[in-house]
Structure 1
Amino acid sequence: MISKTDLRIVKTNENIKNAFCNLLLEKNFKDITVQNICDEALIGRSTFYDHYSDKYDLLNKMVEELSNEFKPYIKIRFNLNNINDFTTTFSGMLKHLSKEKTKILALLNVHTEFADLHSNLENLLIKGCMDFLLNENFKSKFNISNEYICRHYASYVLTSFELWLELDESDGALELANNMQAILFAN
C-alpha cells in the first residue's frame, strides 16, 4: 500500500501543480483541460484523478494551501509593536513566498466563484487590519473610516506584493511599502 507521504506521490502532486501553473501563465483557466495538465506534467489521466477530482479541485486546493501560508504572516503583522518589526517579518515572508513565485503569480489571476487567491488574501488582510484597528481603538488623523483604511491597505499590500514578485524588486521596494503603510496608519 502506498501512503500519501510516499515520495513518489509527493513528487507527482508537485509535478501536477507546477504543470497547472505553467499552463495558467499561458492560458485562461477556462481554456485549460485535465488533458492539458496531464500532457504538461507527462502523466496519464488516471494518475491525475488519483490526486484530484477535476481541475476545479486542483485549483481550490492550491488556493487554499497558499492562503493558509499567508495567514501566519498576516497575524504576525498586526501583533507587532512597530514598523521596524514589520519590515523584518514582511521581508522574511517575501523571501519564503518568493519560492512559490510562479504558483502565486499564476493563481492571483484566476477568479472563479469557488476559488480566488486574490480575493482570499484581500479578505484576510482586511479582517486582520479591522481586528487590529478595533482592538487599538484607532481613529485616523485624516478623518477617514477604518473600513476605507483596511480596504486601501489590503489593495496596496496585494498590489505591492504582486509587483515585487513580477518585477523582482529589491529591498528598496520594501522600504517604500513600509513608508506608505506608516502614513496610512498615522493617528
Structure 2
Amino acid sequence: MQWLKRHARLLAVLSFTATILLVVHITGIREHFGLDVIRAQFESHLISGTATFVLLFALGNLIQIPGWIFLAAAVLSLGQVWGAAVTYVAAVLSCTLVFVLIRCLGGSALRKIDNRLARSLLTRLDKQPIRSQFLLRTLFQTAPALNYALALSGVGLGHYVLGLLAGLPLPIVLYSVFFDYLAMALDLI
C-alpha cells in the first residue's frame, strides 16, 4: 500500500497515456500521422494546415510518435527552410504543452523513485538544468519519452523551455538538410 501511495502520480500518468493510446487506436486517429496526411494538411491551406500540424505534433508527442515524422512531412511540404522553421515552432509548443500536462498529472514523480542511478541523473539535471537539457535535446530531439521524463523530473518550466529552445535548432537543421537531400535523391519533390 505504501508503494502504491508513493507512486500514485506516476500511475496516473501511465493510466492517462494508456487511455490516450486506446482512444487514438479505437477512433482511428493514428492514421492521421502518416507523412502523406500531414503533408496534405499543409498543401490544403497553409494556416489551418499549420495549426493542425501543431495539434497533431502535440498529440503525437503524447502517444509516443517521434518528431522526425513531422519534420519530414514539413520539409517535403514546405521546403527545407520553412519546414524546419515551422517544425521548430511546433516542436517547442508541442513539447511545452506535453510538459505542462504531464507535470500536472504526475508532478515530480521521478523524484520518489528510490534508485541510485535515478538520483545521480536528477542531481546532474538539478546542477545544470539548461546544459543537461541542451545535450539531451541535441541527442534525442523531441523524443516523447524524454518529454515525459523531464516533466516528471521536477525541472522547472522556465529551465525546460530554455533547454528546449537551445537544444532543438541543431538537430532540426541537420535533419532538415538530410530529409531535403533524401527527397531530392528519391525525386519526391
Higher radius of gyration, 1 or 2: 1
TM-score calculated relative to the size of structure 1: 0.32
Quick check: which one's helix share is greater? 2
- The structure with higher relative contact order (CA 8 Å, sep 6+) is 2
TM-score calculated relative to the size of structure 2: 0.32
